[in-house]
Amino acid sequence: MPLILGGLAGAAAGYGAAAWLERRKPPPGKDPNIKHASLGVVRLDWHYHPLPGDVGSPDSFEYPVYYRAVPGLTFEICQSGKMSPEIQQNFKDAIEFLDKERGVSVITSDCGFFMWFQKEARLYTSKPVVMSSLALLPSLHAAIGTDGKIAIFSANSTSLGPMHDTVAKECGVDWDEACYVLVGCQDVEGFGAVASGEPLDLEKVTPGIVRKAKQVIAEHPDIHAILMECTQLPPFSDDVRAATGLPVYDAIVSADFFIRGFVDNPRFGLNDWHRPWDGQQEKYKLGDNVQDKEKLLHYKP
């Protein structure tokens, strides 16, 4: 034992404590050519005005994000869960573009109704696919158990209903069980702009979303967590967190979670093994991937 202590003391005396600790650090990264992880977002053929916090806004992310719209895949078609063969091919092309041309690490979407196509999207890539924040439900259920409830907020709870069986198959979750509470925001003042593609008025809509959350918790005091299903709800997540004290999960949290699996943790282990992100997002405008004549057929001006 004295020899061990003496050896440590000698190391500290010979090199200094800081120097000794420095020698204990893992070696630097071996391949500086590894690029930073990035997110690919499959977009609807739908022009709207995303707020920061919306998946459609690159300002929502602290890592590179690339977008690709699917010509012909309107909000209504996505909501129906049925694509024509032509749109299906366009969907495949969008997935493969993000995977092979942009080399993204994770693929998601700009609408929760893309959950209809979660299984199909996986056919076209080996990258993690999370078409909706609903994919987080199994983890939330495991963490909370059956003693607590999870509130699922959507733009319209009635429209979400037909996707029940798909979510059950993909996520192993039956939201008809007593531990889930479906909450529609269709009656929140100003939130109807989501359906029309008009800009959301943050100051106008936020109080209504917060009131809705408080009301639901008052009716179900055993709610332990909230999941925002609609990709246009994350701009309100912080307000709901602050007002309720509950954890709120959404499409941004979902994307962040999967991206974290690909990036360096600077606090321990091997560091600097991939290039840092320069903070510059690729400029994107809806319809960049189609010819002008196709835009007249597919894209809303």
What pLDDT is recorded for position 289? 62
What pLDDT is recorded for position 147? 87
Please, is 281 exposed, middle or buried when counting C-beta atoms within 10 Å of its C-beta (0-12, 13-18, 19+)?
middle
- Fold exhibited by the domain 39-132+257-298: Rossmann fold (3.40.50)
Residues near 76 by beta carbon (within 8 Å), at least 6 away in sequence: none
Which two tokens mark 254? Answer: 């979902």
pLDDT digit string, tens, across residues 82-135: 999 999 999 999 999 999 999 999 999 999 999 999 999 999 999 999 999 999
Q: What is the mean pLDDT of the chain?
A: 87
> Band of the pLDDT at 285, cuts 50, 70, 90?
confident
Q: Is the pLDDT assigned to residue 146 strictly greater than 70?
A: yes
CATH 3.40.50.1860 in the chain, residues? Answer: 133-250
Q: How many CA atoms lie within 13 A of 275 on its CB side?
A: 10
**Rounded alpha-carbon distances, angstroms, from residue 172 to 70, 124, 137, 229:** 28, 22, 9, 16
pLDDT digit string, tens, across residues 33-92: 889 999 999 999 988 888 999 999 999 999 999 999 999 999 999 999 999 999 999 999
The amino acid at residue 120 is: E
If one compares 189 and 27, the residue with the highest pLDDT of the two is: 189
From edge to edge, which strands make up the β-sheet containing 223-228? 180-184, 149-154, 223-228, 248-249
- Range with the lowest mean pLDDT among 78-92, 141-155, 156-170, 284-298? 284-298
Question: What residues are annotated to the active site?
Answer: 111, 230
- Specify whether the CB–CB gap between 45 and 289 falls below 8 A: no
Which CATH architecture fits 133-250? 3-Layer(aba) Sandwich (3.40)
Task: Please give the Cα distance from 1 to 99 (Å, whole number).
Answer: 56
What pLDDT is recorded for position 71? 96
Residue 46's nearest CA partner among 70, 30, 22 is 70
Dihedral of CA atoms 129, 131, 134, 139 in degrees, nearest 10, equals: 10
Q: DSSP string of 201-243?
A: -HHHHHHHHHHHHHHHHHH-TTEEEEEE-STTSGGGHHHHHHH
Neighbour tally for 158: CB within 10 Å: 10
Residues near 268 by beta carbon (within 8 Å), at least 6 away in sequence: none
- Specify whether the CB–CB gap between 142 and 171 falls below 8 A: no
Global pTM value: 0.84
Residue 78's nearest CA partner among 90, 66, 67, 61 is 90
Task: Please give the Cα distance from 182 to 167 (Å, whole number).
Answer: 13
Query: Do the strands 248-249 and 223-228 form a parallel or antiparallel pair, or are they unpaired?
Result: parallel
pLDDT digit string, tens, across residues 214-223: 999 999 999 9
Which is it for the CA torsion 47, 189, 203, 134, positive or negative? negative
Task: Please give the Cα distance from 47 to 270 (Å, whole number).
Answer: 43
> Band of the pLDDT at 31, cuts 50, 70, 90?
low
Q: Is the pLDDT assigned to residue 21 strictly greater than 80?
A: no
